[in-house]
Amino acid sequence: MTTSNTPGPADVDPAVREELGRLRDSIDNIDAAVVHMLAERFKATQQVGHLKARHQLPPADQAREARQIARLRTLAENAKLDPAFAEKFLNFIIAEVIRHHERIAEDTVSGPAPTPN
Amino acid sequence: MTTSNTPGPADVDPAVREELGRLRDSIDNIDAAVVHMLAERFKATQQVGHLKARHQLPPADQAREARQIARLRTLAENAKLDPAFAEKFLNFIIAEVIRHHERIAEDTVSGPAPTPN
């Protein structure tokens, strides 16, 4: 994207810059909250991963995922968030969780994987 | 993935199933919280989008994004979340936001786009 014909920060009206700063502070606060929620979420999914590995349950569970997606789409609609985005978001998180679960399953069967170079 | 040689839900020890249910309830609560935080985040970024469009500011702001990524990586480390995942997550959200901002900018220049079929 070219920015040569668009105003830089120095050209922006101070009132606009202040409003932008106010909104960005809110965005930063929300991001901090979400990062901490996700840290807590991965703590729970790591426990699920160990439980599944110990009891030879498969890392992925498509019935559970379908229920999660349907529920999140409804929650998103009520919160006026694009349900398609909520679904994409959950798939993004689940892909990461499944990677973790597969790693846990491998470590449980064969002992911890060697440290990569 | 084949699940033919892995136990189905009916074969799972009731205590394991209960523990799995407890963890999944926490995950579902966290997901509801995150969806509502993201709805609030997009409300703020939509306002940023309108502000930028009215004042001909570019939809993307690489200096701001670099600061956000550095900050989130630090927050993630402190929360014991993989910083690389936090960065991937922020990029995922920002890509969606930029799509919104570009749409707002187009609508501001040319009037609302026709409703897609």
Specify the CATH number for the domain of residue A88.
1.20.59.10
**Does residue B102 contact residue B57 with C-beta atoms inside 8 Å?**
no
Residue B4 lies in a domain: no
Q: Do B55 and A31 touch (CB under 8 A)?
A: no
Q: What count of CB pairs under 8 Å joins A to B? A: 147
pLDDT at A87 over 50: yes
Give buried/exposed letters for B38-75 (b at 16+ CB in 10 A, else e): bbbbbbbbebbbebbbebebbbbbeeeeeebbebbbeb
Percentage of chain A beyond pLDDT 90 is 63
What's the rounded mean pLDDT across residues B41-46?
96
Picking from A27, A39, A76, the nearest residue to B45 by CB comes out as A27
Contact B30, A41 (CB under 8 A): yes
When pLDDT is cut at 50, 70 and 90, the band that residue A12 belongs to is confident
Distance from CA of A2 to the nearest CA of B (A): 9
| Spatial CA neighbour of A44 closest among B73, B19, B78, B72 | B19
- Do the domain assignments include residue B6? no
Instruction: Report the pLDDT value the prediction gives residue B2, as an integer from 0 to 100.
Output: 42
Smallest Cα–Cα separation from B65: which of B107, B102, B30, B94? Answer: B94
* Res B51: pLDDT: 94
Q: For residue A111, what pLDDT is reported?
A: 59
The residue that leads in pLDDT, A48 or B8, is A48
Report yes or no on B50 lying in a domain. yes
Q: Tally the domains of chain A.
A: 1
What residues make up the domain containing B66?
17-110
Shortest distance, CA B41 to any CA of chain A (angstroms): 6
| ipTM value | 0.82
Q: pLDDT class for B44, splitting at 50, 70, 90?
A: very high
Give the residue-averaged pLDDT of A12-25.
Answer: 94
The pair of three-digit structure tokens given for residue A7, joined into one six-digit string: 């105003």
Nearest CA in chain A to B68: A28
Question: By CA distance, what is B50's nearest residue in A?
Answer: A20
Characterise B111 by phi-psi region: left (phi > 0), alpha (psi -120 to 50), beta (else).
Answer: left
Q: Is residue A104 assigned to a domain? A: yes
A33 within domain boundaries: no
Q: What is the pLDDT of residue B85?
A: 94
A contacts of B34 (beta carbons < 8 Å): 34, 37-38, 41
Residues of B in contact with A32 (CB under 8 A): 75
Q: Is the residue at B33 inside a domain? A: yes
Helix pair angle (B83-110, B14-54), 10° resolution: 40
